[in-house]
Amino acid sequence: MNIYKSIDEIEKDEKTVLTIGTFDGIHKGHKVLFKKLKQYSLENNLRNVVITFDPHPRMVLSNYKIKLLTTLDEKSELLSQLGIENLLVLEFTKEFSEQSSKEFITNLICNKIGVKHIIIGHDHKFGKDRNGNDNELIELGYKNNFTVECVGPVKSDEEIISSTKIRNAILDGNIKKANEFLERNYCLHGTVVKGVSRGAVLGFPTANIEVENKNKLIPKNGVYIVKALIEDEVVFGVMNIGLRPTFADTLSTVIEAHLFEFNKDVYGKTIEIEMLKRIRDEKKFNNKEELIYQIGRDKKEAIRYIGSKYLV
């Protein structure tokens, strides 16, 4: 996949079908849109282009600093896996946001990129104050010789899938719902760093993980069953996200995973963690013996789950 970080890097070509959006999560609804984009591209011999924004527009325009379901690197990798040929990443600034919808489509899409057909989601808004909608886009298409297709909402159990709903599910610890809406397991990417080595003392050595992007959404505190990829090896385990209240030795969230049957020295190595299932809330225990007993129970539950879901 070709990745362009500036409008000046991509050549103008009228024989283009494109879509535009933030696409945080690359969820099940987004995938329907990308499938249509790719199919239209093949049937009409057009190049396909996905246009997205970095940083997330709400990071620029809102006082609420949104956390990301997918970083730009993750988004790029997922789009590549879906067969998208060209990704254009536009820097989103306050100045950029001041363009009217007509200016955005005419000056940037038509005059700089070139377009024959645009496919958008049912809730897509564009231009200053998000005033542009599908009706205006269709009108602009008549004037600029391109056609428009609007893709309807995608549902799961009668609920419309959206990035906001996935984000809320993750914050609530509802990994099952998030993974269903994403149509994949929610992932964290990071580096294994040195901790206080208390896990090894307790008999359950852990890998402390520093997430690579500070804007990545971290799930609700608690204990999770996970699948990890490290050093090209797939391993399963249990992971705790929280403040380690039994020992009260941190004021910031710590992410640490106990990986089953894995004893390699991986400090400084990159790790990918897939969230499979949430087991329980984080809890303060009266002593380390109670904690050891509970970790043992968590491990047994994880092994049963992994055996039924992944190892048969």
Domain range annotation of the chain: 2-160, 186-309
Sign for the pseudo-dihedral over CA of 164, 168, 170, 175: negative
Judged against a pLDDT cut of 50, whether residue 287 lies above it is answered with yes
Sort strands 187-193 and 254-259 into parallel, antiparallel or unpaired.
Answer: unpaired
Kindly indicate the confidence band of residue 122, based on its pLDDT and cuts at 50, 70 and 90: confident
Architecture (CATH level 2) of domain 186-309 = Beta Barrel (2.40)
| Amino acid at the residue 135 | N
Report how far residue 102's alpha carbon sits from residue 114's, in angstroms, rounded to the nearest whole number.
15
pTM: 0.92
Judged against a pLDDT cut of 70, whether residue 130 lies above it is answered with no
Higher pLDDT, 199 or 260: 260
- Intrachain domains 2-160 and 186-309 with the same fold: no
Judged against a pLDDT cut of 60, whether residue 79 lies above it is answered with yes
Are the C-beta atoms of 254 and 195 separated by less than 8 Å?
yes
Are the C-beta atoms of 240 and 219 separated by less than 8 Å?
no
**pLDDT per residue over 133-160, tens digit each?**
788 899 999 999 999 999 999 999 999 9
Higher pLDDT, 130 or 215: 215
Look at residue 125 in the predicted model and tell me its pLDDT. 73
Judged against a pLDDT cut of 90, whether residue 18 lies above it is answered with yes
Q: What angle do CA 30, 82, 10 make, to 5 degrees?
A: 90
CATH class of 2-160: alpha beta
- Which whole-number Å values give the CA distances from 178 to 9, 82, 141, 182, 221, in the listed order? 35, 20, 36, 6, 16
Which residues touch 209 (CB under 8 Å, ≥6 apart)? Answer: 188, 190, 191, 192, 193, 239, 255, 256, 257, 271, 273
- Order of strands, sheet of 16-20, starting from the edge strand that comes earlier in the sequence: 2-4, 86-91, 47-54, 16-20, 117-121, 147-151
Sort strands 86-91 and 47-54 into parallel, antiparallel or unpaired.
Answer: parallel
Kindly indicate the confidence band of residue 285, based on its pLDDT and cuts at 50, 70 and 90: confident
Q: Which two tokens stand for residue 198?
A: 């208390």
Torsion region of 239: left, alpha or beta (phi above 0 gives left; psi -120 to 50 gives alpha): beta
Judged against a pLDDT cut of 90, whether residue 20 lies above it is answered with yes
- Cβ–Cβ contacts within 10 Å for residue 179, how many? 19
Cross-strand partners of 224: 239, 278
Kindly indicate the confidence band of residue 33, based on its pLDDT and cuts at 50, 70 and 90: very high
Q: Which helix (H) or strand (E) holds 291?
A: helix 288-309
Higher pLDDT, 159 or 291: 159
| pLDDT (average), residues 76-84 | 97
Q: Which two tokens stand for residue 119?
A: 């496919």
Look at residue 312 in the predicted model and tell me its pLDDT. 43
Residue pointed to by tokens 């901790």: 195
Kindly indicate the confidence band of residue 196, based on its pLDDT and cuts at 50, 70 and 90: low
Sign for the pseudo-dihedral over CA of 25, 64, 219, 264: positive
Look at residue 201 in the predicted model and tell me its pLDDT. 47
Report how far residue 141's alpha carbon sits from residue 137's, in angstroms, rounded to the nearest whole number.
6
